[in-house]
Amino acid sequence: MHELSIVKDIFQTLEDAYPDTYKDIVKIEIQAGLLSNIQPILIQNAFEAYVEEFKEYQDVELEVTILPIIAYCKSCNKNFEVQLHRFVCECGNPSDKIIQGEELKISKVTFNKKNHE
């Protein structure tokens, strides 16, 4: 299950970024593009398994937002949302220039305010 390694990487990234305060994290928000092969239920299950093993994270919440696929049309110089995996702009021209949809990123981290006042 590659989701568990993704969850481990998320926590490692946060520990590296916030070495003095990572234990005060109460919520992690991630954004995953439709082309990133991330299934919200599977990443949530992996997250729950991880925090079960590492009790210091048991109060951390995970929120996953799935981002649509956005492509760029060179013909009409516009971005468009890919529907039903058809990379065709409303002008009728195909496009392979993906602007959004492949990413997996930590978009927001919320800390316990009591420890940061």
Model pLDDT for residues 4-55, shown as the tens digit of each residue = 999 999 999 999 999 999 999 999 999 999 999 898 999 999 999 999 999 9
- Residue 58 structure tokens: 């048991």
Q: What is the mean pLDDT of residues 59-82?
A: 96
| Domain limits for position 42 | 2-68+100-112
Scan for tokens 């760029």, then name that residue: 72
Cβ atoms of 69 and 33 within 8 Å: the answer is yes
The residue among 114 and 84 whose pLDDT is bigger is 84
The verdict on residue 22 lying in a domain is yes
Identify which of 32, 106, 107 has the alpha carbon closest to the alpha carbon of residue 69: 32
Q: Is pLDDT of 71 > 70?
A: yes
Is residue 53 packed enough to be buried (19+ CB in 10 Å), middle (13-18) or exposed (0-12)?
exposed
Q: Please check whether residue 96 is in contact with residue 12, taking contact to mean a CB–CB distance below 8 angstroms.
A: no
What would the mean pLDDT of 95-107 be, rounded to a whole number?
A: 96
- pLDDT for 43 equals 95
> How many domains, in total, are found in the chain?
1
Return the pLDDT at 35.
94
In a domain, 75, yes or no: no
Q: Is residue 82 part of a domain?
A: no
What's the whole-number mean pLDDT along residues 87-92?
A: 95
- CATH number for position 36: 3.30.2320.50
Q: How confident is the model at residue 117 (pLDDT cuts 50, 70, 90)?
A: very low
